[in-house]
Amino acid sequence: MISVSLEWIAEQVEGRLVGSDCKIDKVSTDTRADLQDALFIALKGKNFDAHDFVEQAIAKGAAAVICEKQQDIDCRQIIVENSRHALGRLGAAVKARVAPRTVAVTGSNGKTTVKEMLAAILSIRHPVLATQGNFNNDIGVPLTLLRLEEQHKYAVVELGANHPGEIGYTTNLVKPDVAILNNVSAAHVEGFGSLHGVARAKTEIFRGVGSQGTAVTPRDSEFYPCWERACTNMNWKTFGLTDSSDVFATDITLNGEGHPSFTLHLNGEARQLTLKLSGQHNVLNALSASAAASELGISLDDIVTGLEKVQPAKGRLTTIKVSDHLRIIDDTYNASVASTKAALDLLGSYKGYRIFVLGDMGELGADARAYHEEIGEHAIGSGINNLYSLGVLSQSASEVFNGNGGKHFGSLQSLVDSVLQRLTEQTGKQPVTVLVKGSRSAHMERVVAAIQQAVTVDDSTEEKHAC
Cα atoms in the Cβ-side hemisphere of radius 13 Å centred on 156: 25
| Closest by Cα among 410, 350, 355, 216 to 294 | 216
**CB under 8 Å to 373, separation ≥6 — which residues?**
396, 397, 399, 400
* Phi, psi dihedrals of residue 37, rounded to the nearest 5°: 65, 20
Pairing of strands 432-437, 326-331: parallel
Annotated binding site: 107-113
Task: Provide long-range contacts, Cβ within 8 A and 24+ apart, for 96-100.
Answer: 96/175, 97/2, 97/4, 98/2, 98/148, 98/149, 98/150, 98/152, 100/129, 100/148, 100/152, 100/153, 100/154, 100/155
Task: Provide long-range contacts, Cβ within 8 A and 24+ apart, for 422-426.
Answer: 422/353, 422/355, 422/386, 423/325, 423/326, 423/455, 426/325, 426/352, 426/353
Q: Is the CB of residue 5 less than 8 Å from the CB of residue 29? A: no
Q: Is the CB of residue 260 less than 8 Å from the CB of residue 308? A: no
C-alpha torsion sign, points 212, 216, 220, 221: negative
Question: Mapping DSSP to helix (H, G, I), strand (E, B) and coil, where does residue 265 land?
Answer: strand
Eight-class DSSP state of 118: H
Euclidean distance between CA atoms 347 and 364, whole angstroms: 23
The string over 17-51, giving b where at least 16 C-beta atoms fall within 10 Å of a residue's C-beta and e elsewhere, is bbeeeeebebbbbebeeebeebbbbbbeeeeeebb
Annotated binding site for ATP: 107-113
CA distance readout (Å), 433 to 32, 353, 403, 421? 41, 6, 20, 14
DSSP letters spanning 268-325? TEEEEEE-SS-STHHHHHHHHHHHHHHHTT--HHHHHHHHHHPPPPTTSSEEEEEETT
